Structure formats: C-alpha cells, structure tokens
C-alpha cells in the first residue's frame, strides 16, 4: 500500500468531511475489512464521537447558509483532522514519519476545505435549497468513496483527488469572476438609474430659464411698444 498517496487522499477527504473519514477508516479497520487503518481510529469512543458529529454535519451541511457557517467553524477543525489522520498513517508506516504525514494530510485538507467552502458560498446564491442538498450529498459520497478507493488503490485515489482539487480551484476562480462581473453590472445599473433621475431636474431648470428669458423678452418688447 502506498502510504503517501493514502495520506494525500485522506487529507483531501478530511477537508470535505472530516468526521466521515475518521468514521470510515475506524469502522473498516475494526471490522477487519482493511489492513493499515490506524488502530487509534478503531477505539469505540472515537467511533461514537465521529458518528454523532457525522450525523450533525449531514443535516447542517444541507441547509442554505447554515452550511457556510458550519464551514467557517470547521476552517481549523478539518485541517487539524487531516493532519491527525495523516500523522497516524505516517507513524504506522516504515516509509513515512508522523511529521511528514501530518504536513501532507493537513495541507491537503486545508486546500480542499477552502475549495468546498468557497463553492458552497456560490451555491448559496441560488434561491432554492435543492442545489445545496444535491451538492452536499455529492460531497459526502465523494469523501467516503475516496477513502474506500484509497485503501484499495491509493495511487489512483490520489490522482482522482488531485484532479478534483484542480477542477475545484478552477471553479472557484470562475465563480469569483462571475461575482465580480455581476457586482460591476449592478453598480452600473444603479449609476444609470441615479443619473436618469437627475436629468429631468436639469432639463426642467433649463426649460424654466428659457421660459423666463422668453417672458423677459416679451415684456421688453411690450415695453418698447
């Protein structure tokens, strides 16, 4: 089993759903379905806590704007979870050490968390809640699926995670450009609306001045006669 690609994959998944990663690795190891899962994750207390938090996140992550608040609160939790899992995987491997595992796992988790949180902010601009639910379900499935794939084919899983990370970063950049373009268009419309409201006032003033001049001229002519 390639430990480094496994750490990378687990880090990416932790940035998306840290509790799901801990729960999946612990359950698979405890049930004997895989070899190499950190024994610390198989502890009943760790599994129970991960299961409870996974259930809470499963609900919170599907409610518009609540999901973004949840993401903000987990900006520290998810990278720390990725570093913890990566450190455990690196500690148990002969080809990696705890520090490198923690660095790779935590760094990857921070990157994937940033992509996830940014994209969910963009999704929240949609007025209907169905998109949030579908995106959240896709994220949950991807996180668990990546862990399962990493345990069987770590290099393939790492390649998939790298591709997802690159595509997600590109989507964040594209969404940011669309938001900036929309804000510029909104400011332009407000500017035109404000200008349109002032023009009649200026025209009325000019008309009034012209009328005054005409009246004055007429009066002058009358006076001359």
Q: Tell me: the pLDDT tens digits for 138-154?
A: 999 999 999 999 988 99
Q: Which residues of 39-51 are buried (b: 16+ CB within 10 A; e: fewer)?
A: ebbbeeebbeebb
Cα gap 55→80, rounded to integer Å? 20
pLDDT in tens, 77-123: 999 999 999 999 888 665 677 889 999 999 999 999 999 999 998 88
Given a cut of 60, whether residue 1 has pLDDT beyond it is no
Query: How far is 48 from 20, CA to CA, in rounded Å?
Result: 12
Q: If you average pLDDT over residues 40-48, what whole number do you get?
A: 93
pLDDT at position 11: 95
List, for residues 13-31, the tens digit of each pLDDT value: 999 999 999 999 999 988 8
**Cβ atoms of 69 and 63 closer than 8 Å:** no
Measured CA to CA, the distance from residue 110 to residue 73 in angstroms comes to: 13
Q: Which of 9-13, 113-117, 159-163, 192-196 has the lowest average pLDDT?
A: 192-196
Token pair in block for residue 83: 């570093």
3-state SS, residue 94: coil
pLDDT band at 215 (very low <50, low <70, confident <90, very high): very low
**Whole-angstrom Cα distance, residue 221 to residue 215?**
10
The reported pTM is: 0.77
How many Å apart are CA 225 and CA 222, to the nearest integer? Answer: 5
């Amino acid at each position: 089993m390639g430990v480094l690609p496994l750490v990378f994959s687990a880090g990416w998944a932790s940035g998306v759903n840290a509790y799901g990663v801990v729960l999946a690795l612990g359950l698979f190891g405890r049930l004997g379905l895989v070899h190499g899962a950190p024994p610390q994750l198989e502890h009943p207390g760790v599994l129970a806590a991960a299961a409870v938090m996974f259930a809470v996140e499963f609900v919170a992550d599907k409610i518009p704007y609540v999901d973004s608040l949840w993401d903000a609160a987990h900006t520290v939790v998810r990278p720390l979870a990725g570093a913890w899992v990566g450190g455990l995987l690196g500690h148990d491997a002969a080809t990696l050490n705890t520090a490198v595992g923690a660095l790779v796992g935590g760094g990857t988790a921070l990157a994937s968390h940033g992509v996830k949180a940014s994209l969910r902010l963009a999704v929240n601009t949609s007025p209907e809640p169905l998109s949030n639910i579908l995106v959240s379900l896709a994220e949950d499935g991807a996180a668990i699926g990546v862990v399962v794939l990493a345990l069987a084919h770590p290099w393939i899983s790492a390649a998939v995670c790298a591709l997802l990370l690159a595509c997600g970063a590109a989507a964040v950049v594209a969404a940011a450009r669309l938001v900036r373009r929309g804000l510029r268009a909104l400011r332009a419309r407000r500017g035109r609306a404000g200008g349109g409201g002032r023009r009649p006032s200026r025209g009325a003033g000019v008309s009034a001045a012209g009328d005054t001049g005409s009246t004055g001229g007429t009066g002058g002519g009358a006076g001359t006669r």
